[in-house]
């Protein structure tokens, strides 16, 4: 178990510490005397620590759930060879605390506001006025959620701001694909790339940390492919965009997972839809590969990776061009 920043910053003489962290797991248990206590796994980007709040009283200490950002004060002790935090005081973080979330949970490596502005500016550059209007309209309508959402509950880009990071990377790939294949309709492909996962803002439920905590009822019953297509259809009708363009964009959204076993309602049936499906898969798989290999020594293999057909990935250790 890694060391949480709370334990790193503890007073060496007294063992007392305080700070902000995220609840990664929490349950109410009973001590040998029959008194309730909170058993928690608290973490930040430095690691994780087991924590206990003895004699837990909800009316005094408050109620908590996985994903909550909290401030704790307590003492670091040793228990069976591992550090443990005995919590004396606990409360939920407030907006006034201005907690830097990137210190607590996995976060996109770029500023979400800057990523959003890049996408919006790209959409404004479209020559097709209808696709420009549609893309800018949906980006504006869902901006507040787009800025903070992860792209998944688990697997690729399951990080704070991961939805925008994935969308930006994928859209940049789409721009370059259009340079290699000029026969592609650039505005159509980029429209699909920007909007392909936008309905994940309704598919996923997120915790205070900005990470996904589960799927909504609509997410489980419909999914983001279908909901995204519905949003496109409704927006096109509202904006007076013709049905042909609406149908093309909807098809790209419902087919971008490529295969029915991955949730696609249709296989891609024109070049831009095929290109979107392929680059979406590429970005997702490369993200997972880089993530799995991050802590693997050079010359060694990962454990079988479920999301990549249980492949064991090899760290060849070759230096990146930019590092040279």
Query: pLDDT tens digit string along 135-190?
Result: 999 999 999 999 989 988 777 788 888 999 999 999 999 999 999 999 999 999 99
Which of the four pLDDT bands, split at 50, 70 and 90, describes residue 8? low
Distance CA 16, CA 1 (A): 20
pLDDT score of 48: 85
The model's pTM: 0.81
The domain made up of 5-97 is a member of CATH 2.40.50.140: yes
Class of domain 106-292: mainly alpha
Q: What percent of the chain has pLDDT over 90?
A: 62
Which of the four pLDDT bands, split at 50, 70 and 90, describes residue 1? very low
pLDDT score of 250: 97
- Which tens digit of pLDDT belongs to each residue from 234-262? 999 999 999 999 999 999 999 998 777 67
pLDDT score of 321: 42
Q: Taking all residues of the chain, what is their mean pLDDT, rounded to a whole number?
A: 89
Residues 6+ apart with CB under 8 A from 163: 146, 149, 150, 151, 157, 197, 200, 201
pLDDT at 132 over 70: yes
pLDDT score of 187: 98
pLDDT score of 264: 75
pLDDT at 23 over 70: yes
pLDDT score of 9: 63
**Which DSSP letter does residue 103 get?**
G
pLDDT score of 3: 57
pLDDT at 37 over 70: yes
- Which tens digit of pLDDT belongs to each residue from 100-125? 888 888 888 889 999 999 999 999 99
- Which tens digit of pLDDT belongs to each residue from 181-226? 999 999 999 999 999 999 999 999 988 777 888 899 999 999 999 9
Q: What percent of the chain has pLDDT over 70?
A: 93
pLDDT score of 171: 97
- Per DSSP, the residues of 286-306 read HHHHHHHHTTSPTT-BPPPBG
For 303-322, the three-class secondary structure string (H helix, E strand, C coil) is CCEHHHCCECCECCCCCCCC
Q: What are the residue ranges spanned by the domains of the chain? A: 5-97, 106-292
b or e along 45-64 (b: 16 or more beta carbons within 10 Å of the residue's beta carbon)? ebbbbbbbbeebeeeeeeeb
pLDDT score of 223: 92
pLDDT at 323 over 60: no
How many residues are listed for the chain in this entry?
324
Higher pLDDT, 18 or 320: 18
Segment of 62-71, 82-91, 193-202, 258-267 carrying the highest mean pLDDT = 193-202
């Amino acid at each position: 178990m890694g060391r949480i920043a709370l334990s790193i910053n503890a007073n060496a003489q007294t063992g007392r510490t305080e700070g902000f962290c995220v609840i990664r797991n929490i349950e109410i248990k009973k001590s040998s005397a029959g008194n309730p206590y909170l058993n928690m796994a608290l973490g930040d980007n430095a690691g994780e620590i087991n924590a206990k709040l003895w004699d837990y009283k909800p009316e005094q200490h408050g109620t908590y759930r996985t994903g909550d950002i909290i401030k704790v004060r307590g003492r670091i002790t040793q228990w069976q060879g591992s550090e443990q935090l005995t919590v004396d005081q606990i409360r939920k973080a407030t907006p006034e605390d201005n907690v830097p979330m990137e210190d607590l949970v996995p976060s996109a490596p770029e500023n979400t506001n800057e990523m959003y502005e890049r996408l919006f500016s790209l959409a404004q550059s479209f020559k097709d006025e209808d696709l420009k209007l549609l893309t800018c309209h949906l980006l504006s309508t869902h901006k507040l959620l787009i800025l903070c959402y992860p792209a998944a509950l688990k697997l690729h880009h399951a990080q704070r701001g991961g939805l925008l990071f994935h969308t930006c990377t994928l859209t940049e790939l789409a721009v370059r694909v259009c340079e290699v294949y000029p026969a592609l309709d650039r505005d159509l492909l980029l429209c699909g790339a920007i909007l392909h996962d936008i309905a994940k803002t309704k598919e996923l439920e997120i915790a205070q940390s900005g990470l996904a905590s589960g799927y909504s009822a609509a997410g489980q019953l419909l999914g983001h492919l279908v909901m995204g297509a519905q949003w496109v259809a409704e927006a096109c009708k509202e904006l007076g965009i013709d049905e042909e363009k609406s149908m093309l964009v909807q098809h790209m959204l419902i087919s971008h997972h490529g295969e029915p076993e991955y949730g696609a309602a249709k296989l891609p049936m024109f070049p831009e839809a095929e290109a979107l499906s392929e680059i979406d898969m590429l970005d997702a798989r490369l993200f997972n590969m880089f993530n799995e290999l991050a802590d693997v020594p050079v010359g060694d293999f990962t454990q079988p990776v479920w999301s990549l057909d249980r492949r064991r990935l090899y760290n060849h250790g070759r230096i990146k061009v930019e590092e040279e």
